[in-house]
Amino acid sequence: MWSTVAMPIAGRRATAFLTVQLSRYSVNTSDTTKHIKMRWKGKGLPEREVKANVGQTLLEVSRANDIYLEAACEGSLACSTCHCILDEKTYSVANPPKDAEEDLLDLAFDLRPTSRLGCQVVVSEKMDNALIELPSATRNMAVDGYVPPAH
């Protein structure tokens, strides 16, 4: 006899679940998370296609795919070092920026009309084939060479 349980995946928003089937003798799992493809480029990175989970932020996608997106504040909406430049289609379908994000973007290097903070953009199915560009530099007040740990 099997019992099926849907459990949220740790570190992910409630849109990502892991279906677990439990029995007395074994456990079967299946990841029900929806995925899309994204392309990233910039900062010496050749254009690269990666898989992104719907519900992740762009910062989480970058960390999961070893793309260096600085994020000095570790995604707490206190800096502008996770600045990303979205293609126009992606910008138009992304969740709208909050006032606090727009205030921080004023401090970002190489600001463009489609600039967003990676910690604030939540991946949706409408973003399939998005192109995310990293600016050539960031403005970080931390000591030169500091690399924040992944979270």
* Sheet containing strand 115-117, strands side by side: 45-53, 35-42, 130-134, 83-86, 115-117
Half-sphere exposure of 132 (CA within 13 A, CB side): 29
C-alpha closest to that of 66 among 91, 45, 90, 87: 45
Length of the chain: 151
List of domains in the chain: 1-33 (no CATH), 35-134 (3.10.20.30)
Q: pLDDT per residue over 90-134, tens digit each?
A: 999 999 999 999 999 999 989 999 999 999 999 999 999 999 999
Sign of CA dihedral 131, 136, 141, 144: positive
Q: pLDDT per residue over 25-76, tens digit each?
A: 555 555 678 999 999 999 888 899 999 999 999 999 999 999 989 888 999 9
Comparison of pLDDT for 71 and 24, the residue scoring more: 71
Q: Report the predicted TM-score, pTM, of the whole model to 2 decimal places.
A: 0.73
